[in-house]
Copies of this chain bind each other. A is one copy, B any other.
Amino acid sequence: MKDIKNKIYAMVKNDLDAIEAALKYNLNPHIDLVAKIAGHILFAGGKRLRPLLMILSAKLCGYKGKDHIVLSTVFEYLHAATLLHDDLIDEASTRRGKTAAHLIWGNSETILTGDFLLARSIRIATETNNISLMKNIAEVTEKMSLGEICQLMNAGNTDISEKQYMDIISGKTAILFQCACRTGAIIANVPEKVQKALSVYGFSLGIAFQMADDLLDYTSETKTIGKNVGADLKEGKITLPVIYALKHACAKDRATMEKIITNNVFSQDDFKILIELIKKYNGFSYTRQCAESYAADAKNALLFINNSETKNILIDIADYALSREA
């Protein structure tokens, strides 16, 4: 479904160009090494979905000011900060098709550059002089760190529940999407009802997006997603397809799955067996249904808002979240 992606990105080309320029201009690292490490993760072909969502939300809400482009960088910097720390934590080898930063520059440098990006994003947020916005961003930053810790604590836990999975993906993905969309509404000064609608849109989209991402980890190819297929499982991340299959498998199949999951040097053949078992117990189709349901929630949240070109793009993005290949 490259069509949707191309269609969306053609419609937002000017915004994307503005985001790229702002990401470069506002990084402002003073130190060459920080520019290199932050640049490595920031300028490796990310989709810029978070800043784009903020900008589109602001437009949908009739925002006419000039602060939205700079402010949108907050959401990409925050995202990049978590990627730097996460890849180190997960001992990931690639990200966005490139060698992970910590393998090039070292762990210490990567930790500190992550800290810088986190601090930089907060600092940009303070420059708006908007307290409600700063509070939202600070809250999300805190919750994101807790979400990551929650994920880490559940690494390799084959008894993880769907509820725990939802908490983790809320923290690691959905609340930042939510915050980006809500921020767009906040700066446009729209009534609470509209802020809430964009909040629901962002959160639901984030959940759908992450579920689709978790599916891709089993169904895509390494060169397409820019990281290793099966990487989640090797990092001990047990996602919805597996959780659902484990829950519904007979004792024998569950034992086979658990053996593969808990062996972090599982072979390609093991991985194929696991995939067949996930299919047998509808782990993929259930996850896809859930993702579709959240994408529908996202679209429904915007129902009462007047139709516009921007609204159509936001709806297209919800469809894209499901159909994407990378």
Residues of A within 8 A of B (CB): 29-31, 33-34, 85, 88-89, 107-109, 111-116, 118-120, 122-123, 125-127, 129, 131, 134-135, 138-139, 141-142, 144-146, 148-150, 152-153
Given contacts A122-B141, A123-B138, A146-B116, contact A152 B108 (CB under 8 A): yes
Complex: A281 Cα to B117 Cα, angstroms: 41
Complex: A23 Cα to B205 Cα, angstroms: 37
- CB < 8 Å: which of B31, B144, B145, B149 contacts A149? B31
CB neighbours (8 Å) of A145 from chain B are 112-113, 115-116, 119
Given contacts A138-B126, A142-B123, contact A115 B31 (CB under 8 A): no
Known: A88-B108, A115-B118. 15 other contacts (CB 8 A): A29-B146, A31-B150, A33-B153, A89-B112, A115-B145, A115-B148, A116-B142, A116-B145, A119-B138, A119-B141, A119-B142, A119-B144, A119-B145, A123-B139, A126-B138
Nearest first, the 8 A-B pairs at minimum CB distance are A119-B142, A89-B108, A116-B145, A119-B141, A123-B138, A115-B145, A126-B138, A126-B135
- CB-nearest residue of chain B to A143: B119
A118 to chain B minimum Cβ distance, whole angstroms, is: 7
A297 to chain B minimum Cβ distance, whole angstroms, is: 26
Check if B116 sits within 8 Å of A88, measured CB to CB.
Answer: no
A285 to chain B minimum Cβ distance, whole angstroms, is: 33
- CB-nearest residue of chain B to A148: B112
CB neighbours (8 Å) of A146 from chain B are 29-31, 34, 116
Check if A126 sits within 8 Å of B115, measured CB to CB.
Answer: no
Check if A138 sits within 8 Å of B122, measured CB to CB.
Answer: yes
A148 to chain B minimum Cβ distance, whole angstroms, is: 5
A95 to chain B minimum Cβ distance, whole angstroms, is: 16
- CB-nearest residue of chain B to A149: B112
CB neighbours (8 Å) of A31 from chain B are 146, 149-150, 153
CB neighbours (8 Å) of A131 from chain B are 126, 129, 131, 134
CB neighbours (8 Å) of A125 from chain B are 138
Complex: A115 Cα to B122 Cα, angstroms: 13
Check if B141 sits within 8 Å of A123, measured CB to CB.
Answer: yes
